[in-house]
Amino acid sequence: MENLGSLAILLAFCVALYAVVASVIGGIRRKPFLVVSGQRAVYSVWVLITLASSILVYALMTGDFRFAYVAEHSNRSMPILYKFAAWWGGQEGSLLFWSWLLSTYAAVVAFTNRRKHRDMMPYVVAVLATVQTFFLLLNNFIANPFQMLATDKLIVAVPDGNGLSPLLQYPAMAIHPPMLYLGYVGFAVPFAFAIGSLITRQPGDGWIHTTRRWTLVTWLFQGTGIMLGAAWAYHVLGWGGYWGWDPVENASLLPWLSGTAFLHSVMMQEKKGMMKVWNIVLISSTFFLCILGTFMTRSGFVESVHAFARSDIGKYFVTFLALGIAATVYLILDRLDYLKSESQLESVVSRESSFLFNNLILLASCFAVLWGTLFPTISEAFGSRIALDADWYNRLMVPIGLFLLFLTGVGPLFAWRKTSLESLRKNFQWPGIAALVLVGALLAAGMRHFYALISFGFCLFVALTVIMEFYRGARSIAAKNDMNLVRATVELTYRNTRRYGGYLVHMGIVLIFIGVTGHAFNLNEVKELNKGDSLRIGAYNLKMVDLQQGENENYQWHRATMQVTKNGESLGTLEPEKRFYKASKQGTSEVGVRSRLNEDLYLNFGGMSDDNQRAVIQAYVLPLVAWIWIGGLVLIGGTLVCLVPSKIKMQYARTEVVGLIKKHATVQN
């Protein structure tokens, strides 16, 4: 069976290579049968990788411990869900999973576009198949998941495996990597279309229309993956936080940031025919950041406590990245004249300008995160290895985030070309006043945290502008069609899902900012407690009423039962627990959280004291954290709304520049 698996990925490698060659030759020579055979090769690759993956998953499920991969990442006592999740739990498996997702995407792209974009498609398929070939190269020759355990020449099985890292044995964690991967891999599709459009010198922005949904879905997956990762960190790591600027977290954030910039700047191209070069650059950067992210987490290139095996996989990624970037840059420079802007910037207070700054800021943050992540490696090349810690990121990213939040509020309401004073007053007077009143009230209430004040002010400002937009639109629909406001709001959204879905996404971002701002007011307390002792934190009084220990076949555990009272009122108990997994000799924390909209009470069992008599309890009060998760859900909902086709087909009305049309006309004649 292992031979069949190896054979399948080897064949897939050959077929993918064939798909590249057939598509390119078919495209250049205009041979339809070659183009079609290239597309069929893409389907075959999917079948082959699916077969290989099924074999690996079957081995994981049945516990075939002759497989080195199975022995490392599965064991007998693991629940079935995690046996399946072990597919992407380790290096070899996750790379195979990458390949499989890419082949799935490529097959879907090839199928849905088989009758469209006839001149562009061969190159789209070729780009996707090239990426596929690279990953299959890794699957076959660098990180083969079908490696057997052997002593001398005999294949042997170990009695039981290591098991998936217990930290990963958590439901959100089982779906978090696939979500991120769907994002990472998905950006290959718009990239392939952009390149295909460049190669064939497509006029207009067909590639953007075709891939808008792809990009949005991919972006959604990436965002959801990041949120799940944060939720996992919060519930499993027991440190009361959700984001630590770890290189691997950063790696997932980078393409999300540049993807966000891309989603905004394509509107400039659709509406005004501007920023064409920029959009190609953005989607290419996003794709290469995805590859870079995969590379950073796979190669040990960046020092991370994630502790990846250092392997020589890095040089393959570097080569692939270098070649890919060089080819893309060459192509863009060569085709610059096809990417001429059709209009110009006119005013600083305009929609165009707000998009420009939105892009600038997103790119700046992207660059800052990249810089921080790579800095240890860069500085090592110049002498001593220097790390930048979370504090550095916070200093930089907090102002960046606040500026972005501000743009979120004003940008969508600026008019195209130039905004009149009258419309500024109409749109921003009341939200502005309300925000100032809020900041004043918070100051009066004794809040002195500078960034927090600004953040809350902006949050209210943006939220009000969004609500006003909905209200104004809904009111006029309600008046015209005799509806109530709620139905009118639904109707309004349905008429232009893209615009109002976008507002919902902005609302989600505001809620996330509210949650993150709560961090400024965190409390924490650590104490060693005996049964009957208590601990005070904020308004809470925590009394340890029980301390137990025990073990089962998977792990040993210590558990404290904490009686929670707030201002004398009893709120029930929380049970933080510490586990020690036997197979992997690793500890994990099961935190006790009481989550409310205003604040979370978060208890972690830190461990036993030195004399093994008392429990070390870490208590945190984390204001507003719940809003991060709520905001995440709103963001997902808003993106889904964007994906629904609008009831009225709203093509962006394009403002064409007459002179340029004339020029086109003469060229055509």
Partner 1 sequence: MKKYGKFAALIVVVVGTLGWLAATGMNETKTYYKTISELGQMGDQAYGKRLRVGGDVESGSIQHTGGRVQFVLVQDKMKLTVAYTGTDPLPDTFRDGAQALADGKLGSDGVFRAKQIQAKCASKYEAKPGQLAPGQSAPNINTGKSSI
Residues between 334 and 393 that touch partner 1 (CB under 8 A): 345-348, 353, 356-357, 360-361, 364, 368, 371, 376, 380, 384-393
Smallest gap from Cβ 305 to partner 1, in A, equals 5
Which of residues 119 and 528 has its CB atom nearest to partner 1 in the complex? 528
The one segment of 306-314, 317-325, 548-556, 631-639 that binds partner 1 by CB under 8 A? 306-314
Which of residues 73 and 506 has its CB atom nearest to partner 1 in the complex? 73
Q: Among 147, 394, 556, 561, indicate the residue that binds partner 1 (CB under 8 A).
A: 394
Please report where in the chains the tokens 């924390």 appear, as a residue.
589
Smallest gap from Cβ 355 to partner 1, in A, equals 12
- Name which of 54, 56, 133 is nearest 93 in CA terms: 56
Handedness of CA 401, 406, 408, 414 (dihedral sign): negative
Give alpha helix (H) positions in 150-205.
171-186, 188-199
Which of residues 136 and 180 has its CB atom nearest to partner 1 in the complex? 180
Smallest gap from Cβ 6 to partner 1, in A, equals 21
For residues 180-209, which are near partner 1 according to CB under 8 A?
A: 180-181, 184
Residues 415 and 351: beta-carbon distance below 8 Å: yes
Considering the rule CB under 8 A, would residue 589 count as an interface residue with partner 1?
yes
Neighbour count for residue 558 (Cβ, 10 Å): 17
Which of residues 177 and 409 has its CB atom nearest to partner 1 in the complex? 177
For residues 469-498, which are near partner 1 according to CB under 8 A?
A: none
Which of residues 386 and 479 has its CB atom nearest to partner 1 in the complex? 386
Q: Among 146, 191, 221, 245, indicate the residue that binds partner 1 (CB under 8 A).
A: 245
Which of residues 303 and 491 has its CB atom nearest to partner 1 in the complex? 303
Residues 350 and 415: beta-carbon distance below 8 Å: yes
Return the structure tokens found at 79: 């629940």
Considering the rule CB under 8 A, would residue 535 count as an interface residue with partner 1?
no
Which of residues 334 and 380 has its CB atom nearest to partner 1 in the complex? 380
Smallest gap from Cβ 338 to partner 1, in A, equals 24
Which of residues 200 and 394 has its CB atom nearest to partner 1 in the complex? 394
Return the structure tokens found at 364: 């700046």
Interface map 153-172 toward partner 1 (x if CB under 8 A): -----x---x--x-xx----
Smallest gap from Cβ 434 to partner 1, in A, equals 25
CA distances from 35 to 21, 106, 196, 211, 252 (A): 10, 14, 14, 21, 35
**DSSP per residue, 525-552:** EEEEE-TT-EEEETTEEEEEEEEEEEE-
Q: Among 206, 314, 538, 587, indicate the residue that binds partner 1 (CB under 8 A).
A: 587
Considering the rule CB under 8 A, would residue 591 count as an interface residue with partner 1?
no
Return the structure tokens found at 332: 């863009």
Please report where in the chains the tokens 């709001």 appear, as a residue.
489
Q: What is the CA radius of gyration of the chain?
A: 27
Return the structure tokens found at 318: 């570097």
Which of residues 176 and 276 has its CB atom nearest to partner 1 in the complex? 176
Neighbour count for residue 551 (Cβ, 10 Å): 11
Please report where in the chains the tokens 């930290």 appear, as a residue.
167
d(Cα 123, Cα 116) in Å, to the nearest integer?
13
The one segment of 56-64, 301-309, 497-505, 564-572 that binds partner 1 by CB under 8 A? 301-309
Which of residues 68 and 474 has its CB atom nearest to partner 1 in the complex? 68
d(Cα 628, Cα 647) in Å, to the nearest integer?
31
Give alpha helix (H) positions in 482-522.
485-495, 497-517
Residues 92 and 145: beta-carbon distance below 8 Å: yes
d(Cα 246, Cα 367) in Å, to the nearest integer?
15
Considering the rule CB under 8 A, would residue 606 count as an interface residue with partner 1?
yes
Considering the rule CB under 8 A, would residue 395 count as an interface residue with partner 1?
yes
E strand or H helix at 440: helix 421-444
Considering the rule CB under 8 A, would residue 91 count as an interface residue with partner 1?
yes
Which of residues 27 and 240 has its CB atom nearest to partner 1 in the complex? 240
Q: Among 215, 294, 373, 497, indicate the residue that binds partner 1 (CB under 8 A).
A: 294
Which of residues 56 and 233 has its CB atom nearest to partner 1 in the complex? 233
Which of residues 304 and 497 has its CB atom nearest to partner 1 in the complex? 304
Interface map 627-646 toward partner 1 (x if CB under 8 A): --------------------
Return the structure tokens found at 597: 């909209």
Please report where in the chains the tokens 């392939």 appear, as a residue.
192
E strand or H helix at 559: strand 555-566
The one segment of 76-84, 209-217, 487-495, 578-586 that binds partner 1 by CB under 8 A? 578-586
For residues 47-86, which are near partner 1 according to CB under 8 A?
A: 68, 71-73
Smallest gap from Cβ 635 to partner 1, in A, equals 17
Cross-strand partners of 551: 556
Helix axis angle, 188-199 to 91-112, nearest 10°: 50
d(Cα 145, Cα 199) in Å, to the nearest integer?
36
E strand or H helix at 375: helix 351-381
Q: Among 528, 533, 575, 590, indicate the residue that binds partner 1 (CB under 8 A).
A: 528
Q: 240 φ, ψ to 5°?
A: 70, 15
